[in-house]
Structure 1
Amino acid sequence: MADQQILLKTLLQQRHWQTYKTFCKEYDKAAKLVDSTLQGKWPSRAQLHRWLSGELKGLPYSDHCRVLEKMFPGRTAEELFSPNGHQPPPRGSIEPPRNAEPVAEPGSTPQMADVTAVFSSRSAFASAYPPSVLFDTAKEINAAGLSLNVLCQSYPDHRLKRLLENGTRIRCLFLDPKGTAIRAREDEEGYEDGTLVTLTTLNISMLTRLAARLAPEAAELLELRVYDETIRFNLLIVDGATCVVQPYLPQARGVDSPTIVINDNTAADGLFPVFDQVFTSMWERSRPV
């Protein structure tokens, strides 16, 4: 069955519920209707990957089956975990024409995994994904890199303030301006005047001043940390669903780096969980400002 997409994955894609965060949200809605004690007991990310890969032997635990059947009325758990081409549609649904061409889902080609866009530089990426598009409706922003200019220089203070006051959680991980790694990067990029140290210090100070103007409950949502390690990536993860990866190239400025956009589609071989874990491990090794 592993070479055939199961019905559950197809239905999640059709409803745009394929990101892990969205799946858990919809799972909770159905769980509340089935048994309120099942809320919050969604599968782990790894479990969901196994479900959707088609490699699960048998069915999940009965409670999971009950919730999934509520999420997709008219479908049994057996149908949901069967190849989608072998099951009839629910009663009342409309079948596509038999001569219709299949439509490839984004990231469905094995070579692309969950990568949805690639840009040759950060400026090309910024033209396609301006900060307002990335952040204006975000509920969670995790950023790690060097100076984090996309948040500190390209996005207005008053909008950051509004996000925090509306409950958005923002975690920023800067390359330590007092460390050795940032000076090594300055040497690599050809700076001789402490440019990156000064810029990073300025950006941290800007966010610190912003936090000081917030009510305590909003200020707690803004977390600033630093790390002192060889810089490899600039990472931006929005709402646990979209990840922007910008590698640092030898002897090249950060703005000249290629940029990869990844949308979590719970693909078993996807890159989103990889970079999500990179951010988590870096955050755990860092120290508060």
Structure 2
Amino acid sequence: MGSGGLELPPGDEGHEGNSTDVPPGAVSLARPMEMGSIGPELDWGADAWREVRTRAQRAGRAYIWLNLVEQRLRAVVAAVLRPIYEPVHGDEWVVAAAGPAGQEWVQRAVAVREVSRRKGYLLDPADDNVLSFLTLPQLRELMVQHWPCFEPYFDERRDVELALDELEVTRNVVSRNRALSEAVLGQAERAAAKLLEILGAGSDVPSARRLPVDAVEDLVGDRYADVVGVHSDRVRLLRQFPAEDLFGGARRLDAIGIGLNLLVQNFSGRRLVRLAESGCRVRLLFLNPASSAVKRRERELGLKRGELSRSVEMNILHMRRVRARLRDPGAFEIQVYDETPRFTAYLVDGDGSDGIAIVQSYLRRARGMEAPVLVLRGGGQVVKPDEIGEEGLFPTYREEFEVAWADSRPVS
């Protein structure tokens, strides 16, 4: 065996090692070994690629949350401790704040900062300070050591520490590029969201009170225009966003569809009355139960004749009873249309920047409960509001509703 991993041809029997039998100037040729006989298998199959992509996606999502928490905690620590230590210690205020107990890790941060300076790793002059080189556990240590300084701003020290404890597992896994389970990721996201709320990092998106802004959406919210959520069916939508969260407290509600079951069957008549009495303007646009479009839809779904039309009639009757209980019935309008239904949409506060919309297309063989759901956020893009670009899908469905409403007939 040669040193290069090649097998040399053997000599004749009885002549091994006898150099006199080799003609002058002759060179022994090495035979390549068979493929796969040495070294590990380098090819990855589809399952392996799927696994590493899943790991990368989870780690990336967790990193976004951890980065947001670390930046916010760093800003809070600086805002509270700098005015205390900087007047006496100047630029070394972080070293002074760490005290004797933190000398080891703060000196390590100082050393890393110096190395970053020499190698040109400091790309932003704002990061040229010791505080920027402290990790999340070290920032936590500063906060715990000086809790009396932070206590006036935060009610519960235990809540802060518990949230940071939950994040530490995820931080350790992500920093070492190990597998992160879906359960641990979900726990970390909840802990990070809670901690950001405690630290006062609220969202500036108007519709966040109804549809919270996810950390990932906050960074890549313009990737798919104004689509912020996709659910395979209505059950999964309601599991994450109950009807009360979607419609409660609305000042305007426009809905178009066949029977509007998402609203009628999941939001009680009593709640609708209170919503309308509180000043909400409601416009409901049903498919005319006597139209030929209902009969075509019944055939598509394989329903008995009249089954769908009776269901729509019951929903309209229920909404009429709600309207009859109002002091101002004009604020609760019900109309019907005869055209072929193409989608159902619920536009909540669609006249302002805080609007959201729930949209479903009608599929040939699937009822509304089984059709995929899009969740749209009105008011333009989340990440790049200053850039001029496509408005997204929200204005499209709002315009479609207005056109259909203008061509429809009122229900007495």
Q: Using a 3 Å threshold, how does the CA distance of structure 1 residues 109 and 242 change in structure 2: closer, same or farther?
A: closer
**CA displacement 1:156-202 (0-9 Å, x = unmatched):** 11111111111111100000001111111011000013121001101
Structure 1 runs (4+) deviating above 6 angstroms are none
Shift of 1:275: 1.1
C-alpha change, 1:266 and 1:194, in structure 2 (3 Å) is same
Q: Distance in 2 between matches of 1:191 and 1:161?
A: 32
Once residues 344 and 206 of structure 2 are traced to their aligned partners in structure 1, the CA distance between those partners, rounded to angstroms, is: 22
Shift of 1:18: 5.5
Name the counterpart of 1:30.
Answer: none
**Counterpart residue identity of residue 326, structure 2:** L
**Structure that is richer in helix per residue:** 2
Match of 2:329 in 1: 219
2:319 aligned with 1:207, yes or no?
Answer: yes
Counterpart-to-counterpart distance in 2, 1:286 and 1:181: 14
Letter in 2 for 1:220: G
**Local SS of the residue matching 1:137:** coil
Hey, what's the Cα distance between the residues in 1 that align with 2:405 and 2:329? 19
**Equivalent position to 2:285, from 143, 168, 173:** 173
* TM score, norm. by length of structure 2: 0.44
Gaps spanning 5+ residues in structure 1: where? Answer: 1-13, 21-102
Report 1:62-101 matches (<5 A): none
Matches within 5 A, 1:277-288: 277-288=399-410
Between the aligned partners of 1:248 and 1:254, the Cα distance in structure 2 is 7
Relative to structure 1, is the Cα distance of residues 157 and 107 closer, same or farther in structure 2, using a 3 angstrom cutoff? farther
Map 1:5-24 onto structure 2 (within 5 A).
Answer: none
% same residue: 38
Tell me the equivalent position of 1:159.
271
Distance 2:371 2:334 in 1: 24
Alpha-carbon separation, structure 1, partners of 2:311 and 2:219: 37
The whole-number CA distance in structure 2 between the counterparts of 1:245 and 1:135 is 14
CA spacing shift, 1:250–1:163, aligned 2, 3 Å: same
CA contact (8 A) 1:147 1:199 kept: yes
1:145 to 257, 260, 265: 257
Q: In the alignment, which of 348, 351, 362 is matched to residue 238 of structure 1? A: 348
> Is contact 2:254-2:348 (8 Å) kept?
yes
Q: 1:276 aligns with which of 398, 406, 409?
A: 398
Alignment partner of 1:258 is 2:372? yes
SS in 2 for 1:112: coil
How many residue pairs match? The answer is 193
Question: SS where residue 106 of structure 1 aligns?
Answer: helix
1:106 CA drift (Å):
3.4
SS in 2 for 1:220: helix
Compared CA separation, residues 150 and 105, structure 1 to 2 (3 A): closer
1:188 aligns with 2:300: yes
Give the C-alpha shift of residue 16 in structure 1.
Answer: 5.4
Residue 269 of structure 1 and its aligned partner are, at CA, apart by: 3.7
Residue aligned with 2:218, SS: coil
Contact 1:164/1:219 (CA < 8 Å) preserved in 2?
no
TM-superposed CA distance for 1:19, in Å, is 5.8
Report the CA distance shift for 1:158/1:117 in structure 2 as closer, same or farther (over 3 A): same
Stretches of structure 2 lacking an aligned partner (at least 5 in a row):
1-200, 208-214, 382-389
Residue 265 of structure 1, CA deviation: 3.6
Alpha-carbon displacement from aligned partner over 1:138-172 (angstroms, at most 9, x marks no partner)? 11111100101122221111111111111111100
Q: CA RMSD in A?
A: 2.2
C-alpha contact (below 8 Å) 1:235/1:246 kept by paired residues: yes
- Where relative contact order (Cα < 8 A, 6+ residues apart) is larger, the structure is 1
Matched, 1:124 2:239: no
